Structure 1
Amino acid sequence: MKYVAPRWLPGGNLQTIWSALYARKVKGALPRYRRERWTTPDSDFIDVDYLGDAGPNGGPLLVLFHGLEGSSASHYALAFADFAREHGLAYAVPHFRGCSGELNLAPRAYHSGDHAEIGWVLQRFRQSHAGPIVAVGVSLGGNALLRWAQELGTAAAQVVSAVAAVSAPIDLAAGGHAIGAGFNRLVYTRMFLNTMKPKALRKLDQHPGLFDRDALLRARNLYEFDNVFTAPLHGFRNTDDYWQRASAKPHLRQIRVPALVVNARNDPFVPAACLPTQSDVGSHVTLWQPAHGGHIGFAQGRMPGHLRTVPDAVGGWLLQHTHPSREHCHG
């Protein structure tokens, strides 16, 4: 991926914030979604938003897994929807639990290593969709998608033709510490905790005694929040155990399906020093690490810029792998 930031959009923080708030997300009208509610194996639910004017069931399906506190309305989800609409693709955004605008039922939420949930969702798409499936995960969703591909190994190719991760925090400890320091803590940590804490407290009302309310209220960064809420609710001993076991970076060699990993080297959430090199990955993994782009930024063109840079590049790469001969070549 060749991305050069516009001269009016310098630096990783500005590229991140401007893209989320001000850049054009679509070329035409905003996409229209239709929603399906799926009952999970543990009697909870997730909501899946489908592009209303989607492509045929026999054509490719593009599935997008959103990032932390994201949804089908996130700037990147809308930009990928625009790409799908332009290319006649079916498109779906499954929401992680509690992210669709309604609190989920179970005493759990979602996390960066939620590969079992990813697997259940993709298997359900595989059962209902006749054509090839490709999946892209953004930020947290990208790490979880890579963890799924790593866990399945060669079996992943029976479900999807290819996967891609955009701005994924594949080293969760490095990313967690980066977002908890300096400017990042003042801006991004505060933004995330402003929605995560109230949702956690509603979860506590739903399931009294689930965690220590006072400890959660004291949490001032994601490390402390994960220690009280995310880690224990999802089977991890503590934040360190969670970040270590959920990180995709140590397992990139296990991936046996075509996988694209895109990280800007000036991403304020994912330090360049922690990014994988070619020696860290196997032959199935392609690394794109442009110097600029921020975290899910990559706005291009004249002010205010547009967000189709990543969907065009990543979506184009994914679609190359939907041809039967390409699927055969990759086993």
Structure 2
Amino acid sequence: MSTVLLAVVAVILCILFRILNVNSQPQKPVIFGRDRSFIENILFISPFLSEPYTPTRLWGFSGHVQTILHSLIGRVRCPWPIGGRISLVLPDRSTLTYDLYEPVGSEHEGIVKDDVTVAICPGIGNTSESVYIRTYVHYSQCHGYRCAVLNHIGALNSVPVTGSRIFSYGHTDDYNYMIENLLDRYPNTKLILVGFSLGGNLITKYLGEDRKRSPNIIGGISICQGYTAIDTMVYLLQWQNFRRFYLYIMTDNYRNIITRHKRMLLNPEMKNRYSLDENMIVSAGTLPDLDEAYSRRVYGFDSVADLYKWSSSAFYLHNIKTPMIFINARDDPIVPEPLLPLIREFVSSHDKSMYLELAHGGHLGFYEGGLVYANPVNWLDRALVGLAGGLLMAHNKCSQKDVMVTVTDTISDDEPDLIKSTTIVYRDPLDKPINVFTHN
């Protein structure tokens, strides 16, 4: 009996070790891009990007655990940043809110000498009250940044839906209204756009759309987006790597938002205007089913495929002129690795762009440090603050018309930790082979 018990325990331990991926080792982020000057500016401000990302030892090497913990608890010892809520009534009678946070504390006072506002677009159905957003906002405040967080229409329980719609995957007008209102309040501020997951898709699409944008926007950062909704959905509909489970959770959350506001969204007038069937909406088992029953009708598309193409940032990348940084993890169960070559190719053929690819981190997790208990501030929060500083530095250098200073001129030989230990993949679009430079 004891032998059988030991065998069972051994099998369970093997399965756990396999799931938790504990045999993995910390790895450095791989950086893709062709604009060496831009990349080196970023790395000069964020030297720790040259170092291996070290997930929490016991469970941090599993993309599933990182993703699930991010969804359930968000962050460790999350602060509640102090700010105010701005409410806007849009032309379609929708009520849009965003939360505004000023820099706080004297510890980091003076780190950011410019007036810089980070305009944050959260993930699907998330708001300024989401734990991971609160942690990032607080960390940015303490480093001298003003933060503005878009609350997706319909996502806040405390804000009723007053129009005929909620948020969607590709509707960037809400974000634009927030940007315009911010510039009315702070006409001289420099704007850095930051988007998480769906928010990353929205800010990327926003920067690539044929619309008028303020020159105050100096850069954008996208985290864990899938770039093309059609391809992403193909993978999410598969059971492999439990992706169908994540799709079920996202579908349920989206459907709950619709039914929570059904007095406005599913009233008789709306049903007649858009040919909505409440039973189809309630019984939808996947996001494509829900989008067929609701989203594509409300937004006036003939098919779900048309809706997804309109929503996908991949079809707007070629129009982006603003400096951009993209971040993804290869073990993200929601955005699998086969979706990532698209963004590698983009940054390899466009200046003022770079792509950080991590081996671990899951979907928006990026917990780091410790054996079981992760550090209060994770790798992503630290990286975003550093990357914002790098974008600001790159912008200020480009703005200097009198003297053009390159990073090479400002780095001395006795500073080996800033750039020299980084693995960077540079690719010239005219060259087929990829050149990998590991600075040691």
TM-score, structure 1 length as denominator? 0.89
Who wins on radius of gyration, i.e. which is larger? 2
Q: Structure 1's 241 and 297: CA in aligned 2 closer, same or farther, altered over 3 A?
A: same
Runs of 4+ in 1 over 4 A off after TM superposition: 52-58
Decide whether the 8 Å contact of 2:137 with 2:147 is kept in 1: yes
Residue 294 of structure 2 corresponds to: 229
CA distance in structure 1 between the partners assigned to 2:54 and 2:89 by the alignment: 43
SS of alignment partner, residue 387 of structure 2: helix
Q: Structure 1's 238 and 103: CA in aligned 2 closer, same or farther, altered over 3 A?
A: farther
> Matches of residues 12-27 of structure 1 in structure 2 within 5 Å?
12-22=63-73, 24-25=75-76
Q: Structure 1's 311 and 190: CA in aligned 2 closer, same or farther, altered over 3 A?
A: same
Q: Aligned residue pairs: how many?
A: 327
Residue-by-residue CA offset, 1:263-294 (whole Å, 9 max, x unaligned): 11111111211112443342132111111111
Q: Structure 1's 271 and 60: CA in aligned 2 closer, same or farther, altered over 3 A?
A: same
Q: Structure 1's 159 and 131: CA in aligned 2 closer, same or farther, altered over 3 A?
A: closer
How far is the alpha carbon of 1:66 from its aligned partner?
0.7
RMSD, aligned α-carbons: 2.6
CA distance in structure 1 between the partners assigned to 2:302 and 2:257 by the alignment: 22
Residue 298 of structure 1 corresponds to: 366
> Matches of residues 125-274 of structure 1 in structure 2 within 5 Å?
125-129=182-186, 130-152=188-210, 156=213, 158-182=215-239, 183-186=242-245, 188-206=246-264, 207-208=267-268, 209=271, 210=274, 211-274=276-339
How far is the alpha carbon of 1:123 from its aligned partner?
2.0
How far is the alpha carbon of 1:156 from its aligned partner?
4.1
Residue 328 of structure 1 corresponds to: 399
How far is the alpha carbon of 1:89 from its aligned partner?
1.6
Residue-by-residue CA offset, 1:300-324 (whole Å, 9 max, x unaligned): 1113314431122122112222355
> Matches of residues 12-91 of structure 1 in structure 2 within 5 Å?
12-22=63-73, 24-25=75-76, 29-51=79-101, 54=104, 59-91=115-147
Q: Structure 1's 185 and 157: CA in aligned 2 closer, same or farther, altered over 3 A?
A: same
SS of alignment partner, residue 158 of structure 1: coil
> Matches of residues 300-319 of structure 1 in structure 2 within 5 Å?
300-302=368-370, 303-306=372-375, 307-319=377-389
CA distance in structure 1 between the partners assigned to 2:166 and 2:133 by the alignment: 20
SS of alignment partner, residue 261 of structure 1: strand
Decide whether the 8 Å contact of 1:64 with 1:94 is kept in 2: yes
CA distance in structure 2 between the partners assigned to 1:43 and 1:160 by the alignment: 27
CA distance in structure 2 between the partners assigned to 1:21 and 1:246 by the alignment: 27
> Which amino acid is 1:317 matched to?
L
> Which amino acid is 1:132 matched to?
K
> Which amino acid is 1:259 matched to?
M
Decide whether the 8 Å contact of 1:25 with 1:78 is kept in 2: no
> Which amino acid is 2:286 matched to?
N
How far is the alpha carbon of 1:200 from its aligned partner?
1.6
CA distance in structure 2 between the partners assigned to 1:47 and 1:243 by the alignment: 25
> Which amino acid is 1:266 matched to?
D
SS of alignment partner, residue 325 of structure 2: strand
Residue 23 of structure 2 corresponds to: none
CA distance in structure 1 between the partners assigned to 2:262 and 2:113 by the alignment: 41
2:55 paired with 1:5:
yes
CA distance in structure 2 between the partners assigned to 1:49 and 1:178 by the alignment: 34
How far is the alpha carbon of 1:215 from its aligned partner?
1.1
SS of alignment partner, residue 73 of structure 1: coil
How far is the alpha carbon of 1:25 from its aligned partner?
4.4
Residue 111 of structure 1 corresponds to: 168
Decide whether the 8 Å contact of 1:260 with 1:286 is kept in 2: yes
CA distance in structure 1 between the partners assigned to 2:288 and 2:156 by the alignment: 24
CA distance in structure 2 between the partners assigned to 1:99 and 1:30 by the alignment: 19
SS of alignment partner, residue 147 of structure 2: strand
CA distance in structure 2 between the partners assigned to 1:200 and 1:21 by the alignment: 22
CA distance in structure 1 between the partners assigned to 2:193 and 2:337 by the alignment: 24
> Which amino acid is 1:6 matched to?
T
Q: Structure 1's 189 and 114: CA in aligned 2 closer, same or farther, altered over 3 A?
A: same
> Which amino acid is 1:51 matched to?
Y
Residue 123 of structure 1 corresponds to: 180
Decide whether the 8 Å contact of 2:124 with 2:198 is kept in 1: yes
> Which amino acid is 2:358 matched to?
P
CA distance in structure 1 between the partners assigned to 2:399 and 2:104 by the alignment: 26
CA distance in structure 2 between the partners assigned to 1:23 and 1:329 by the alignment: 41
Identity %: 21
Decide whether the 8 Å contact of 2:236 with 2:334 is kept in 1: yes
CA distance in structure 1 between the partners assigned to 2:142 and 2:247 by the alignment: 35
CA distance in structure 2 between the partners assigned to 1:199 and 1:140 by the alignment: 16
SS of alignment partner, residue 162 of structure 1: strand
> Which amino acid is 1:139 matched to?
S
Residue-by-residue CA offset, 1:39-98 (whole Å, 9 max, x unaligned): 213222111112266589972111110111111122320221122122022111111111
